[in-house]
Structures are given as structure tokens and as C-alpha cells.
Amino acid sequence: MPKSITCIIVDDEAIAREIIASHVAQIETIKVIAQCKNAIEAFNFISNNKVDLIFLDINMPEISGISFAKAINKDIKIIFTTAYRDYAVEGFDLQAVDYLLKPIAFERLLQAVNRYFEVASTTIDTTLTTTESNDFIFVRSDRRMLKVDFNAIIYVESYSDYIKIHLQDETITTRETITSIEAKLPKTQFLRIHRSYIVCIAKIQSFTNEHITVNRKALSISRSHKKEVLKRLENF
């Protein structure tokens, strides 16, 4: 399991800090260790504490979020937050992980956090071992955010505007498209075989030109995916 990620929230508006803190509190692997109302407070804090990630407002008095981001250690990742869309280009010029436009919905913040883990997993970090890369995602189910390890997934099944994630001992239902979940799964481990199915390659028990069997269930390979599916499987 990855280590807990430490983050701080920097925003001159108390309500904005509270909203982000409330969202982050639902995510198991990230811990808010400070809330700062300006860049000076934030600079003093990160000078004396280990911080992995900053939710950073851009439009603040005295020292802007952009100026602050330029001045701090580049190992600290930034997710910019702002009410002004015009700042996006400059924010990404600083290689920010993401750029969140207020008001920030939980689902959008969760996307940014997943992007942070993708970025962090490709960055050399002496505080992490090579086995502690991002190997999970969070999905919403029954008003909770559930952590799903990649190696626990057998296959994913689509039902219109929601999906079922089939694990060994349970099935998780979440309101999401199969295309969006496919983008979050590592392509080295998972294979789209049909508009309705994604399978974990390691869990495949057998296959033919028409079907793949996982967990004693035969799933159809669609005509549009057949060439790529068979090419990958026959090369193992």
C-alpha cells in the first residue's frame, strides 16, 4: 500500500479551504496537515515540514500562487485552484499536476488526485520504494469512495451510464463510463475486448477467437477489438 500523501491547502478564503479539506477527507491516502491563508504562511510551513502536494489558490494578496509556485522546491507537486479560467495556461507552464476551477466538485478534485498519483509514480522519489507506485484507484459507490487495487480486478462490465467492477469476492457498482475507467487502468495490465468489457490480462483463464474466459465466465470479443486483442494475447 502506498504511503500517506501529505498535503496543504493555501487559499485566502476560508470557505474555499474548508471545501477542499472536506473533499480530501474522503480520500484515504491523502492527509491535510495544514491550511494556510497566504503564501507567506505556506512558505514558513513547508520550510519546516515534509509536504508532497499543495492545493494552491492563484489569486491571493501580496504574493500570488504563481509567484509562490515558482519559488518553492519543484519536488512539491502543485494543483492550482482559482475562480479565473484565464490563469490556466500559465499554471500549466509551471508543470502543475492539474488546474481546478472553482467551485470545485469532489469528482473533479478526485480526477486531479488520480493525476497526481500518475505523475508521482513516474518521478524518482527517495521516500518511496519502487513497489510503492500508484496501483489503485478510488471509485464512488453507495455514497462512499472505495479504494480498488488494480490486482484485485478481474474484469469491468459496462451498463450504459454505470459500470460493474468484478473482484474475486464482490462486485462494485459505480456511476461512470467504461471509457473513463479504461483511461485510469494501466494498459500493461488490462485489455479492452468489447465496448462493454475490460479484462485483467493476468486473470484470463483461456481464450478463443470469439471469447475470453475469466473467473469461469466467457466474455465476448467484439469484431472491432478482435485484431488488437488476439495480437496482444498471442504475443505473451
Domain count, the chain: 2
pLDDT at residue number 89 = 45
Higher pLDDT, 209 or 93: 209
Measure the CA–CA gap between 157 and 116, rounded to whole angstroms: 26
Which domain range does residue 98 map to?
5-121
**Per-residue model confidence as pLDDT tens digits over 151-168:** 999 999 999 779 999 998
Tell me the pLDDT tens digit for each residue of 211-220.
Answer: 999 999 999 9
Q: Which amino acid is at 139?
A: V
- More confident position, 132 or 194: 194
Quickly list DSSP for the chain.
-PPPEEEEEE-S-HHHHHHHHHHHTT-TTEEEEEEESSHHHHHHHHTTS--SEEEEESS-SSS-HHHHHHHS-TTSEEEEEES-GGGHHHHHHTT-SEEEESSPPHHHHHHHHHHHHHHHHTS--TTS-TT-S--EEEEEETTEEEEEEGGGEEEEEEETTEEEEEESS-EEEES--HHHHHHHS-TTTEEEEETTEEEEGGGEEEE-SSEEEETTEEEEPPHHHHHHHHHHHHT-
Residue 124 has pLDDT above 60, yes or no: no
Neighbours of 183 (CB within 10 A): 10
Is there a single domain that holds both residue 79 and residue 27? yes
Please check whether residue 136 lies inside any domain of the structure.
Answer: no
Asked if residue 108 and residue 23 are part of one domain, the reply reads yes
Among 2-6, 58-62, 172-176, 187-191, the least confident range:
2-6
In this prediction, residue 134 carries a pLDDT of 62
pTM: 0.54
Statement to judge: residues 95 and 188 lie in one domain = no
The CA distance from 74 to 38, in Å, is 19
Distance of alpha carbon 5 from alpha carbon 61, whole angstroms: 28
**Could you give the percent of the chain with pLDDT greater than 70?**
89
Average pLDDT over residues 174-188: 87
- Whether 32 and 100 map to the same domain: the answer is yes
pLDDT digits (tens, 9 = 90+) for 13-37: 999 999 999 999 999 889 999 999 9
Q: Mean pLDDT: which of 34-43, 78-87, 160-169, 173-182 is highest?
A: 34-43
What is the per-residue pLDDT for 93? 54
CATH number at residue 175: 2.40.50.1020
- In this structure, what CATH number is given to the domain that contains residue 87? 3.40.50.2300
Kindly report the backbone phi and psi dihedral angles of residue 190, in degrees, each rounded to the nearest multiple of 5, phi listed first.
Answer: -125, 155
**9 and 116 belong to one structural domain:** yes
Does residue 110 share a domain with residue 24?
Answer: yes
**Least confident range of 4-13, 81-90, 99-108:** 81-90
pLDDT at position 91 is 47
> How far apart (Å, rounded) are the C-alpha atoms in residues 225 and 205?
19
Q: Residues 14, 60: one domain?
A: yes
The span from the CA of 216 to the CA of 203, in Å, is 10
Rounded Cα distance between 80 and 165, Å, is 31
